[in-house]
Amino acid sequence: MSEATFSIVITAYEAADTIAAAVSSALAQTRPAEEVIVVDDGSGDDLAGALRPYMDRIELVRRENGGGAAARNTGAALARSDFMAVLDADDAYHPRRLEVIAALAREQPDLDLVTTDARLVAGGESAGTFATYTPFVWEGQRTAIFETCFVGGWPAVRLSRLEAIGGYDESFRIAYDWDCWLRVILAGGRAGFVDEPYYDYVVHGGSLSANRAPSLWERARLLEKAEDNPALLTDERPALERALRMHRSRAVMAEVQDALYGDSSSGRLARQAVARRLEPKTRLTALAAAVAPPLARRVVPPYRAAEKRLSEEAR
């Protein structure tokens, strides 16, 4: 059986300070990619200048700013391989990453998503691995994907499967990768995993997902969207309902913390307390935060940003 081919696609927006390291890691693979494509999503900085030393070894395409999902769709349309290997512009591959995921794809040719663990980097220090906090799931992937994005944000995806499901949903600004992997798996795809951290994922406060409440609401929205997926089986709906209730509750709790300790208004918390699909404890907490903030602060601690929390754990 012929070995699968891989295109590395790097999407970039205002990433002139980090793109060189990402591209260098893509070009330094022990098993070279068939091509490295950089999609400039309407950057206003000197991204082209940062890429100048690599222009004879990469393909650069520029587009108007449309968000990460649109940029990845652009890269997927240009890719001429079996798989599109995802790399964010502020992250990096370890030299053997493509080698090991290519081996996994060769050993299990039915896989449509192939990935590895990732080293979490916070404040310039290693802070554990992604799988430590979000373990990969081999069995029951169709319902496990409702609860957590156990595939991570950086797999290689089979392009024929990606095209069959309609690509990334460009209406999502944050959770488009999770939504995409969910649709791949419900469409019959399987994900495989190498349990070594061959990817460096930089956790920082400037990312879109660092804006916690909107990020959590996006997770709830992708699950609400999944309710209408024609590939969803009847006996999978209870698991989807449980996951949706959990993620909606987390989103409301994030809004509670923002209202109690941040600059957000508490005006909408009373409405959220009576919204559908919430855990009972979340309803009570949201109501308390709306009518008696001092009381709520006794039981609800402030949220610590992921970058700060992981940096402290690394020390």
DSSP string, 258-305: HHHHSS--STTHHHHHT-SS--HHHHHHHHHHHH-HHHHHHH-PPPPP
Q: What is the pLDDT of residues 216-275, one digit of tens each?
A: 999 999 999 999 999 999 999 999 999 999 999 999 999 999 999 987 777 788 888 888
**What local confidence, expressed as pLDDT, does residue 308 receive?**
53
**What local confidence, expressed as pLDDT, does residue 208 receive?**
43
Residues 277-296: b if buried by 16+ CB within 10 A, e if exposed: ebeeebbebbbbbbeebeeb
**What local confidence, expressed as pLDDT, does residue 125 receive?**
86
Q: DSSP 3-state assignment of 196? A: strand
What is the spatial distance between Cα 172 and Cα 21, in angstroms, rounded to a whole number? 27
Q: Enumerate residues 6+ apart whose C-beta is below 8 A from 31.
A: 96, 98, 99, 102
pLDDT at 180 over 90: yes
| Residue of higher predicted confidence among 75 and 313 | 75
The pLDDT-based confidence of 315 (bands split at 50, 70, 90) is very low
**What local confidence, expressed as pLDDT, does residue 303 receive?**
81
Tokens of 116: 């590895």
Q: What is the pLDDT of residues 167-178, one digit of tens each?
A: 999 999 999 999
Radius of gyration of the chain (CA): 20
User: Position of tokens 């460096």?
Assistant: 200
Q: Report DSSP state, residue 4.
A: P
State percent of the chain over pLDDT 70. Answer: 94
Spell out the domain ranges in the chain: 6-203, 210-310
User: Position of tokens 């940029």?
Assistant: 71
pLDDT at 207 over 60: no
What is the spatial distance between Cα 296 and Cα 68, in angstroms, rounded to a whole number? 37
**What local confidence, expressed as pLDDT, does residue 275 receive?**
87
Count of other CB atoms within 10 angstroms of residue 211: 16
For residues 291-309, average pLDDT: 80
What is the spatial distance between Cα 159 and Cα 163, in angstroms, rounded to a whole number? 6
Q: DSSP 3-state assignment of 11? A: strand
Residues 12-21: b if buried by 16+ CB within 10 A, e if exposed: bbbbbebbbb
Write the Ramachandran bin of 172: left for phi over 0, alpha for psi from -120 to 50, otherwise beta: beta
Query: Residue 302: is it exposed, middle or buried by C-beta count within 10 angstroms (0-12/13-18/19+)?
Result: exposed
What is the spatial distance between Cα 74 and Cα 68, in angstroms, rounded to a whole number? 10
**What local confidence, expressed as pLDDT, does residue 209 receive?**
44
Q: What is the pLDDT of residues 23-69, one digit of tens each?
A: 999 999 999 999 999 999 999 999 999 999 999 999 999 999 999 99
CATH class of 6-203: alpha beta
